[in-house]
Amino acid sequence: MARGTDTVGVSTKKKPAAIASGFADLSTPEAVERFREAAAEFTREGTRSKESAMKVLVESGIYTKSGKLTKNYRS
């Protein structure tokens, strides 16, 4: 077994904190392009209809299911 890998050859080395915490690693042009494509798809899906837009806003914690702004977004 290679050093730094588990039994199936997957690296077990620690990832940088930003990557491990869910932030995108945009250190390569390919990664940036994948991010752009994912962002464009998210935008297309979220703006397809009023219902899909509201679903995104609820899932993001901006609006409640009843259609009111959540506490953090009220003035």
DSSP state of 37: H
Span 1-25, pLDDT tens digits: 455 545 555 555 555 554 555 666 8
| 12, 22 Cβ separation under 8 angstroms | no
Which secondary-structure segment (H or E) carries 43?
Answer: helix 29-46
CA 45 to chain centre: 14
Q: pTM higher than 0.85 for the full model?
A: no
Span 22-52, pLDDT tens digits: 666 888 999 899 999 999 999 999 999 999 9
Domain boundaries, the chain: 17-73
pLDDT confidence of residue 4: 52
